[in-house]
Structure formats: structure tokens, C-alpha cells
Amino acid sequence: MSNQIRPLIAGNWKMNGDAGSFLEVEAIKDKMAANVVNADVAICPPATLLHRVSAALYESDVATGAQNCHAEAKGAYTGDISVDMVKEAGGSYVIVGHSERRDGYSESNEDVAAKASAALAGGIVPIVCCGESLDVRESGKAIDVVVEQIIASCPDFAASQEIVVAYEPIWAIGTGKTASADDVAEMHDAIRAALVERFGEQGAAIRILYGGSVKPANAAELLAVENVNGALVGGASLKADDFWGIISAA
């Protein structure tokens, strides 16, 4: 982890969570209040729970965010939510370009950049995701593909405000397989170099999260890697004990 960058540990609940999840939210809030935490922490629940989770975490050290947004401010976009809606529901982050949306909804780099732009214009922090498939990893082109993807997914003015990048190898998501610390180091170094080339000094300050089967048992090793500035956590963010295990590893 680069010492000068405060890590971000963000939980992506995906399409999970219900009224019972508030016990987990309260438990995380209590642990955060009772301990000194050297990381920013955020929870991104489904859109229907965002308002309630934000209210439960009001004035705590845990921020909230959405898992997606539309690039437009309003209009005839059935089923979508705008950046202002995320903000009104209390969110200060939005995940954009998750591989589950790129693959499931054919989101292109341009779509992702437009969403990230909308988030920045609206004053919330986009967490822009990238990551390669197993085929790409096995073909030896992972670094080229991911660097091209992330650069094309970040709007031009990205670094003048806060933006977060998340590297999530698709083959490591929800599979229990984690990229090795060496592979993560190589990829995060390449992403850092590309961000610095594109954004200059400001690119050196952008947080680059790792995601893909992060758990309490592997968090310390992954978070110790140079240029890993936090984690985007799926399954393990649903249980307060597991999520706390990752937060405390930071």
C-alpha cells in the first residue's frame, strides 16, 4: 500500500441485503466508533436500501454509495437512477463499470466514462472498475487490456476531483480465487503508471482498489502491496465480522 494515500475499503452488496442487513450495518458502525481506523469505509447497498442505510450511518465514519447510476440527470430511463437521486439518498460514492454491468448490460468504456463524468459533475466520487477475463489473463494480454479499459473509462477531467479506480479480475470475483500478490502488484503498478501518464501528478494520488474474493484471511497481504490503496469487497462485505476483518487489516 502506498503510505501517503489513505485506503478506502468499499463494500459492494450487489443484489443482496434486506431488512435483516441493518444488524450488520449497526455492527460495523459500532466497531468503527470503538476503534481507530486508518481507512475510509463505504457501503454500497442495492438502490432500494441506500436511503435507509445512509440514515442508519448518519454522522458515523461509514459513507454510502450506489452500485450504478445513469449518465443523464433525469428523463425517460425506466429502472435507472441519477446521480442526484444517489445524493438525495445519502450516497457519496457510485460504482461504475463493474464487470457484472459491462458483461450483463453491454456497458462500454464510453458509457462508463459518461457515468463517471456525471458523478464528478454532481459532486460524488465514482469508483471506476476494470478487470480482465480468464481468457485475456491466459493470453498474456491482461495488462494491455486493463490499462486500455481504465484509461478509456476515466473522463478527461477525472483527476481534478476525487475519483477511485478498482481493479477486479473477473475470474477472481465470487470464485474464492484471488490474484497472487505478485500479479496484483504488476497490474496496480501498470495502472498507476497509466494514470500518471494521463493525469500527471494528480494521477499519483488516485486510489487504486483491488477487488475479487477479498476476505479477512487475505486482506492484509493484498493491502500491503504497493499501489493497492484499498479494497472493493463483494461477498465478505455482507457480514459485519468479515467486513470488519478486512477494514482492520488496513
CB of 167 to ligand 13P, least distance (A): 11
Clarify whether 168 is annotated catalytic.
yes
Name which of 194 and 232 has its Cβ closer to ligand 13P: 232
Q: Which amino acid is at 233?
A: V
Q: How far is the CB of 64 from ligand 13P (least distance, A)?
A: 15
CB of 66 to ligand 13P, least distance (A): 13
224 contacts 203 by C-beta, under 8 angstroms: no
In whole angstroms, what is the distance from residue 243 CA to residue 205 CA? 25
CA distances for 103 relative to 13, 99, 131, angstroms: 18, 6, 11
CB proximity list for 152: less than 8 A, separation 6 or greater: 109, 110, 113
Helix (DSSP H) and strand (DSSP E) numbers for the chain: 10, 8
Residues 6+ positions from 180 with CB-CB distance below 8 Å: none
The residue with its CB nearest to ligand 13P is 234
Q: Which residues contact ligand 13P by CB under 6 A?
A: 12, 98, 168, 173-174, 211-214, 232-236
C-beta of 17 vs 235, nearer to ligand 13P: 235
**Shortest approach of ligand 13P to residue 73 CB, angstroms?**
26
Residues 24, 70, 98, 100: which is the catalytic one?
98
Instruction: Return the residue matching grid coordinates 459491462.
Output: 102
Instruction: Indicate if 188 belongs to the active site.
Output: no
| Residues identified as active-site | 98, 168
